[in-house]
Amino acid sequence: GAVVSQHPSRVICKSGTSVKIECRSLDFQATTMFWYRQFPKQSLMLMATSNEGSKATYEQGVEKDKFLINHASLTLSTLTVTSAHPEDSSFYICSARTGATGELFFGEGSRLTVL
């Protein structure tokens, strides 16, 4: 099946620094990618939807200046957490939708810990 890869899988950073998480569709072109945030023992909350070559659409309550999303190609979307703080510590999961079938595939997730 289609594969979506996230990198890094785990990252620890100091408060105030910025962290970039990559989401790649390895064997298909993803016209749309989604970024989710998951708190411990909770569900996935959609943060934003990104379409290749256009600005991301953020969900209500998500700070777009803090969570920068770039979808520069049909196989890569990046999430940059700017000026990270401990409350940004979370599990971030991306998903990619194939243009051909519309099917959705999820990455393995990236665990961010901000000290």
Partner 1 sequence: AQSVTQPDIHITVSEGASLELRCNYSYGATPYLFWYVQSPGQGLQLLLKYFSGDTLVQGIKGFEAEFKRSQSSFNLRKPSVHWSDAAEYFCAVAPGTASKLTFGTGTRLQVTL
| x/- map, 71-110, partner 1, by CB under 8 A | --------------------x-x-x-x----x-x-xxxx-
Burial of 38 (0-12, 13-18, 19+ CB in 10 A): middle
Choose which of 41, 60, 86, 87 interacts with partner 1 (CB under 8 A). Answer: 41
Q: Contact between 64 and partner 1 (CB under 8 A)?
A: no
Q: What's the closest the beta carbon of residue 5 comes to partner 1, in angstroms?
A: 10
The nearer residue to partner 1, 55 or 83, going by C-beta atoms, is: 55
Do the beta carbons of residue 27 and residue 96 sit within 8 Å?
no
Residues 6 or more apart whose CB falls under 8 angstroms from that of 32 comprise 49, 50, 51, 52, 96, 97
